[in-house]
Amino acid sequence: MIINRANLSVLFTAFNVAFNSAFTSAPVLWDQMAMLAPSNTDRNQYAWLGRTTRFREWIGERVLQSLSSYDFTIRNRTFENTVSVEREVIEDDQFGLYTPMIQQLGMDSKQHPDELVFDLLRNGHTRTCYDGQFFFDTDHPVIQADGSTAQVANDLGGGGTTWYLLDNSRYVKPFIFQRRRDYTFAAMDKLDDEGVFMRKEFRYGVDARCNAGYGLWQLAVRSRQTLDATNLQAAIAAMKNFRGDNGQPLNIVPTHIVVPPSLEFTAKALVEGQFNAAGASNVMAGAVKVLSTQRAA
C-alpha cells in the first residue's frame, strides 16, 4: 500500500468497523448487576442512597421523618488501551494480520465495565459503601421503626469458596457503573505524527472516562458457607428480611446467585434441577438464576 493520507483514512475506516463490530457483539454481565449512571462532571454524588420513607395517615400536621444523609461520591477515572502497527506492515499490505487485534480491542472495551464491577464484588468485604461500612459487612446500621439502631449483616461468614446472592430486579442495583465519556476508537496515523516520524509506528487506541461504585448493600449478600440447600435458603431469607430506615420493608427478592466456575454445577443442581439429591421434588427450582463467571473467583 502506498502510504498517503487517503489510504491511511481507508485503513482507519476498516479498523474502526472491525472495532465496532466486536464491541457491539461482545457479551457483558455488568448490565445485569449495575445501574448505568450518566455523568457530566468529574464526579457524581449519590446522597439519596439508603434513604427510605414510609407513609402514615395524615392527621394533624405533616411529620418530618428523620433520614440519614450520606456523602457518597464516585469520581470518574480515565482509562486507555493502545496498540501500534509498524509502517512496514502497512506498506507491505499485511495490516489484515492486525484485524484480530483490533477486534480484541473492541471486545476488551465492551467488557471493561465487567472488570470494574466484578472487582467491586470480589472486594466488597474491604471497601466502603454509602453508609461508611464495608459493602459486605456484619454491622450495617439501620434505624428501626422505634428510632433505635440495629446492626444488620449482609456478610454471612464461613470459610469456603465465596458465592453471592443479588437482587438485580430494581432500577437501583447493587452496583453503579458511571459513564462520563464512552469508549472511543481513535488513531495517530498522520505521517508527521511523532510516533510515525520517530519510530515508524501507527498507533490505534481506545479511551474512556468512567468508574464503578457501590449501590445498595441491601441488594447483595456474600457467603463463604458451604453452598447447599440449607445455607442458600438462609441467605435468601436474610435478604428478604432486610428493611430500610424507619422499619420500611424493602420487599427484596434475590434474582441471581453469582458463583465462580468451581461452584457452577453445584449451584445449578440446587436451583435448576427438578428433583433434589434425595429424589424428592426440588422446592428450590427456579428460586434464582445462576450467573457463573471466572470474574467472581
- 67-116, pLDDT tens digit by residue? 555 678 999 999 999 998 888 877 777 778 889 999 999 999 999 999 99
What pLDDT is stored for residue 68 in this prediction?
A: 57
Would you call 166 helix, strand, or coil by DSSP?
Answer: strand
Three cell numbers, residue 285: 427450582
What pLDDT is stored for residue 248 in this prediction?
A: 82
Would you call 266 helix, strand, or coil by DSSP?
Answer: helix
Contacts of 73 (CB under 8 A, 6+ apart): 43, 44, 45, 46
Contacts of 17 (CB under 8 A, 6+ apart): none
**pLDDT > 70: what percent of the chain?**
95
Amino acid at 53: T
Identify whether the C-beta of residue 42 lies closer than 8 Å to the C-beta of residue 68. Answer: no
**Residue 130: phi, psi to the nearest 5?**
-60, -30
Q: Is the pLDDT of residue 247 over 60?
A: yes
Identify whether the C-beta of residue 249 lies closer than 8 Å to the C-beta of residue 207. Answer: no
What residue has cell string 428510632? 147
Dist CA 162 CA 295 (whole Å)? 12
Amino acid at 59: I
**pLDDT > 90: what percent of the chain?**
68
Is pLDDT larger for residue 247 or for residue 78?
78
Beta strands 77-86 and 201-214 are antiparallel
Q: Mean pLDDT throughout 5-30?
A: 92
Q: What share of the chain is helix, strand, coil (3-state, %, to 5)?
A: 30, 30, 40
Q: The whole model's pTM is what?
A: 0.89
Whose CA is closest to 227, among 174, 255, 264? 264
Dist CA 168 CA 165 (whole Å)? 10
